[in-house]
Amino acid sequence: MEDRPVTLAYSVDADDLFMFYALLEGKIDPGGLTFEHRRHDTMTLNRTALAAAVDITAVSIHAYAHLADHYLMLPHGGSIGVNYGPLVLAREPLAATDLAGRRVSIPGKLTTAALTFRLICPDFDERIIPITPFERTFEALFTGEVDAAVVIHEGNLTYEQRGFHRVLDLGAWWWEETGLPLPLGGNVIRRGLGMERIARISALLRRSIAYALEHREEVMDYLLARETRQDEALKSRRLLDTYLSLYANRDTLEYPPAALEGMRELFRRGTAAGIIPHPVDIELAP
C-alpha cells in the first residue's frame, strides 16, 4: 500500500459520483492505492485547486487556466456541452442584449459558465450565488434579488416547471460562434505526484469511468438510492438518465479532439478579453 492516501475531490453532482462510483464502492482493484474522497460545490473545488491543496480534483475548465502551473489536465472525466450548456434564466422573457447593467448571478468567478457569459455580456452587475444549496439561485430569481441567473447542472432540466424563462443557452451560443463543443468541467491531477504515480492513477480513474458506462443501470440505482439531492426532481429516474446522458457519456472516457480545440478556443477568447491573465497551454496527463 502507498504511504499516503491520494486526495480525490469532486462535486456534489450526480455525474461526478457516477464517474467515481466504482472506485468509491470497491468495484475495481485500486492497485495498492488508497483514496480519500471529498465532495464540495464547484466554487469550493476551484478555490481548493488554486491552493494546490488536493491531489486530484474536478474543476471548471475556466479555473484550469489559473492553476495549470500546479496541475495537469486528465485526459478523461470531462463534462462537455455539444450545442448545449449552462442556461441564463429570468423571471420574464428577456433577450441577451437586455442583460447589460442588470443584476445577474453566476455560480462562481472561475466557472466556465461565468467566463462564457462574460464573453457575451461583459457589462453586468455580478452577483455570486454558489450552487450549494442548489435552491438558493432559484430563490434569488423568484424574489427579485437578481434579474437573471446563470444556471448549471440539473437546474437546466427543471426551470420550466418552476415558471422561469430561458434567455440564453451558453453552449448553443458557443456552438454557433465556433462550431465547437463547450468544455465545462474536467479533472486535474497535481504535478507534484510525479509522472509514474500520475500514470497509475490516471489509468485507474479511466477504469472507474469505464465501469460506470458499462454498468449504467447499476450506477443509476445507486445514485437514486444514496443521494439526497438538492433538487428533488433528480429523484426521477427519467431526469437522472437525461442528465447523465448530457454530462457523463462516452466523451467522458476521453476528450475528443473537438473538445480539446473548444478548450483552446475558450482560453484564447478569454485571454483576448482580459478575463484570463495570460495564454494557457493544455498539458494532458497520460
37 labelled catalytic:
no
Nearest-angstrom CA–CA distance, 56 and 59: 10
Q: Look at residues 256, 250, 255, 254 and name the one whose alpha carbon lies nearest to residue 213.
A: 250
The grid coordinates listed for 284 are 494532458
* Burial status of residue 97 (CB atoms within 10 A of its CB: 0-12, 13-18, 19 or more): exposed
Q: What are the beta bridge partners of residue 169?
A: 87
* Burial status of residue 194 (CB atoms within 10 A of its CB: 0-12, 13-18, 19 or more): exposed
Nearest-angstrom CA–CA distance, 238 and 203: 31
Q: Look at residues 80, 79, 63 and name the one whose alpha carbon lies nearest to residue 71.
A: 63
* Burial status of residue 71 (CB atoms within 10 A of its CB: 0-12, 13-18, 19 or more): buried
Of 37, 153, 165, 215, which is the active-site residue? 153
> Residue 184: helix, strand or coil by DSSP?
strand
Backbone CA torsion sign across 198, 15, 103, 124: positive
For strands 148-151 and 79-81, give the pairing: unpaired
Q: Which residues are catalytic?
A: 153
